[in-house]
Structure 1
Amino acid sequence: MSLTVGMLLSACGGTASPDEQMDYLRSMAQHGVEHHAATSPGPVGDQEECADAYHQLYDGPTGDNAPHVGDYAERAALRKEGERLFIESCVTGEPAPVTGEP
């Protein structure tokens, strides 16, 4: 039993790989595109409305879908980049490019 608990704790405490982090960022860009399609009447969405939508969907304990990374500063940076990608994609209706390391 203790082996199973130890394995679960190890799995939960691990840091997301760079690929998992990039997948998260790509998904945030895609969520922005989907929100644009569902709410924007024209080709360009409103930046303030997109920012508000992001905060309604992803702020707080129930909306945080960012993968676990090494420390608080890294997690905050990853979430901030996810926010930027969501908003940019929401405004343009096209997925914002995800480049480099998160």
Structure 2
Amino acid sequence: MLKRYAAVALSLSLAALLTACSSSAAHEEQMEYLRKMAQHGVELHAVKSPGFLGDREECDDAYQQIYAGPNGHDAPHVEDHAEEVALLKEGERLFIESCVNGTPSPVSARTEPASPPA
């Protein structure tokens, strides 16, 4: 079972290297990250044993193993810390919900961050 988690983690880490950026991520990049997290949860559900019924605790444990908690190593860079934490937590929620259900959880529209004062 851990080998499957490791394989999923490796593929997700490689995807993270391709999407890393140095400035704050655009709104669409953040939305894409959330959609990917939901899809990764579905992919994990698919590699589970045939009798897997979507155990929330097992999906949460898998998230912790793959992402080492809400560190979101493949998340786009967000300069505002509070926004970054919210994005990571939403990604975690979508991953776990999608893993449990076996279908991608819907990604709700996030509001654009306010423009900095001139």
Scaled by the length of structure 1, the TM-score of the pair is 0.80
Of residues 40-49 and 66-75 in structure 1, the stretch that sits farther from structure 2 once superposed is 40-49
2:74 corresponds to which of 58, 65, 78? 65
Deviation at 1:42, TM superposition (A): 3.5
Over 4 Å off, 4+ runs: none
For residues 96 and 59 of structure 1, the distance between their equivalents in structure 2, rounded to whole angstroms, comes to 21
Identity in percent: 62
Deviation at 1:43, TM superposition (A): 6.4
Matches within 5 A, 1:1-102: 12=22, 14-42=23-51, 44-59=53-68, 64-101=73-110
For residues 72 and 50 of structure 1, the distance between their equivalents in structure 2, rounded to whole angstroms, comes to 26
For residues 28 and 47 of structure 1, the distance between their equivalents in structure 2, rounded to whole angstroms, comes to 16
For residues 70 and 45 of structure 1, the distance between their equivalents in structure 2, rounded to whole angstroms, comes to 35
For residues 62 and 86 of structure 2, the distance between their equivalents in structure 1, rounded to whole angstroms, comes to 19
For residues 72 and 109 of structure 2, the distance between their equivalents in structure 1, rounded to whole angstroms, comes to 25
What runs of 5+ residues in structure 1 fail to find an aligned partner? 1-10
What runs of 5+ residues in structure 2 fail to find an aligned partner? 1-20, 112-118
Report what 2:6 is aligned to: none
Deviation at 1:65, TM superposition (A): 0.8
Deviation at 1:39, TM superposition (A): 0.9
Deviation at 1:63, TM superposition (A): 6.0
Larger Rg: 1
Structure number with the higher helix fraction is 1
Q: Please give the per-residue CA displacement for 1:29-76, whole angstroms capped at 9, x wherever unaligned.
A: 00000000001434631000000000110126x961111112221111
The alignment covers a number of residue pairs equal to 90
